[in-house]
């Protein structure tokens, strides 16, 4: 039966795709690691620009004050020289006034200048510190970029290897269908659906046990479950869209199909079954309610459980068989 072969290839493909999507996710998220460092650098650069413009304005004021000071000193000195040579009382008084005003101005300008020069020195210090911070942040960011690039290229290497495996398995599936009509289309459709399911659910191919889809726990219509059992074609679960394959269940496991968690892996199934094997027919209600409780936190599952309650009728039908 070709479907068995397809199932085997799909299971291999599933392993590959799960890894592939995980790596692609990591690859997309990786550059976000840098955003804090990039923000910090941008902030420091902005701070530097603001400080610099503040520094330039202060420097300009210092230079103006120095000119003012020179003028005041000159005016005072001229006054003092003039006083010695003054010939009239009126001339003397005017010169005295000039000296007093020049002294007052000189005093005020010296004070202002002292303050501005102090500010300028402080700003200069802060500029130097900020400049160092920028250099530091830049080199940190560069080394982070380097390690990010290494990380990204390791993802790319792994992805390239997975691509080879994926192509191989995909070719197998195409080959299996090659004898059929519309072969390529059919294989493409299956692969396309399969990839989409795995992107959403990480499990794209699940077993049917006792007529229940182990992906979503929904009870499948009896005719449909039989089709899956016959395995003539690829069947998708009508509820969760996963590809279904039939799995025979031993007599003593008949009641335990509830344990298969939607989020659980196929590998964990056997252990789970053993743990629950103490439950008998009488306790089925308990098992059911426990199942619902356990899965309350999972949105997807609680939705499924609701659906499951709606289909209790078919559940009973199933049990009578
Ligand atoms: Zn399903």
> Considering only CA atoms, which of 185, 183, 187, 234 is closest in space to residue 206?
234
Q: 188 is written with which tokens?
A: 């493409």
Confidence label for 131 from pLDDT (cuts 50, 70 and 90): very high
Residue 168 CA to ligand 1 centre (angstroms)? 28
Our measurement of the distance from residue 155's CA atom to the centroid of its chain's CA atoms, rounded to an integer in Å, reads 16
User: Where do the H-state alpha helices sit in 220-268?
Assistant: 222-230
Residue 214 CA to ligand 1 centre (angstroms)? 7
Residue 226 CA to ligand 1 centre (angstroms)? 15
What is the residue-averaged pLDDT of the chain?
A: 82
Residue 208 is inside which H or E element, if any?
strand 205-209
Residue 298 CA to ligand 1 centre (angstroms)? 16
CA-CA distance, 43 to 56, in Å (whole number)? Answer: 20
Give the residue-averaged pLDDT of 30-40.
93
CA-CA distance, 264 to 226, in Å (whole number)? Answer: 25
Give the residue-averaged pLDDT of 299-310.
43
**Percent of the chain at pLDDT exceeding 70:** 77
Confidence (pLDDT) at 37: 94
Residue 232 CA to ligand 1 centre (angstroms)? 19
Residue 224 CA to ligand 1 centre (angstroms)? 12
In this prediction the pTM is: 0.62
| CATH code at 2-170 | 1.10.287.1490
Residue 239 CA to ligand 1 centre (angstroms)? 5
Q: Where exactly are the structural domains of the chain? A: 2-170, 203-267
> Considering only CA atoms, which of 201, 217, 242, 270 is closest in space to residue 228?
242
Residue 250 CA to ligand 1 centre (angstroms)? 21
- pLDDT tens digits along 263-274: 444 444 444 444
DSSP letter at 211 equals T
Residue 242 CA to ligand 1 centre (angstroms)? 6
More confident residue, 205 or 4: 205
Q: 203 is written with which tokens?
A: 């499990």
Confidence (pLDDT) at 202: 79
Residue 134 has pLDDT above 50, yes or no: yes
DSSP letter at 34 equals G
Give the residue-averaged pLDDT of 31-54.
95
Residue 19 CA to ligand 1 centre (angstroms)? 22
Q: 186 is written with which tokens?
A: 């059919």
Give the residue-averaged pLDDT of 213-218.
95
Confidence (pLDDT) at 174: 87
Confidence (pLDDT) at 84: 85
Residue 213 has pLDDT above 90, yes or no: yes
Residue 302 CA to ligand 1 centre (angstroms)? 14
Strand partners, 206: 244
């Amino acid at each position: 039966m070709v479907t068995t072969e397809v199932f085997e290839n799909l299971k291999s493909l599933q392993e590959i795709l799960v890894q592939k999507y995980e790596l692609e996710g990591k690859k997309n998220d990786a550059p976000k690691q840098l955003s804090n460092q990039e923000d910090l650098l941008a902030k420091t650069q902005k701070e530097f620009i603001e400080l610099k413009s503040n520094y330039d304005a202060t420097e300009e004021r210092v230079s103006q004050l120095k000119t003012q000071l020179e003028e005041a000193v000159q005016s005072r000195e001229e006054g003092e020289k003039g006083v010695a040579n003054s010939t009239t009382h009126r001339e003397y008084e005017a010169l005295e006034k000039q000296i007093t005003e020049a002294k007052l101005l000189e005093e005020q300008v010296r004070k202002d200048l002292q303050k501005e020069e102090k500010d300028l020195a402080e700003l200069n210090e802060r500029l130097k510190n900020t400049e160092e911070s920028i250099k530091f942040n830049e080199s940190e960011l560069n080394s982070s970029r380097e390690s990010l690039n290494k990380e990204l290229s390791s993802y790319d290497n792994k992805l390239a290897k997975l691509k080879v495996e994926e192509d191989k398995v995909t070719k197998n599936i195409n080959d299996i269908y090659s004898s059929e009509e519309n072969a390529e289309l059919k294989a493409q459709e299956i692969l396309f659906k399969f990839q989409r399911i795995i992107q959403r659910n990480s499990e794209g191919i699940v077993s049917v046990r006792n007529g229940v889809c182990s992906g979503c726990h929904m009870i499948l219509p009896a005719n449909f479950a039989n089709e899956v059992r016959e395995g003539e074609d690829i069947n998708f679960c009508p509820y969760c869209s996963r590809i279904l394959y039939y799995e025979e269940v031993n007599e003593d496991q008949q009641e335990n199909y509830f344990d298969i968690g939607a989020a659980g892996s196929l590998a964990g199934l056997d252990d789970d079954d053993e743990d629950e094997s103490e439950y008998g027919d009488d306790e089925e209600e308990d098992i059911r309610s426990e199942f619902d409780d356990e899965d309350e936190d999972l949105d997807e599952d609680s939705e499924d459980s609701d659906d499951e309650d709606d289909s209790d009728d078919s559940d009973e039908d199933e049990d009578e068989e």
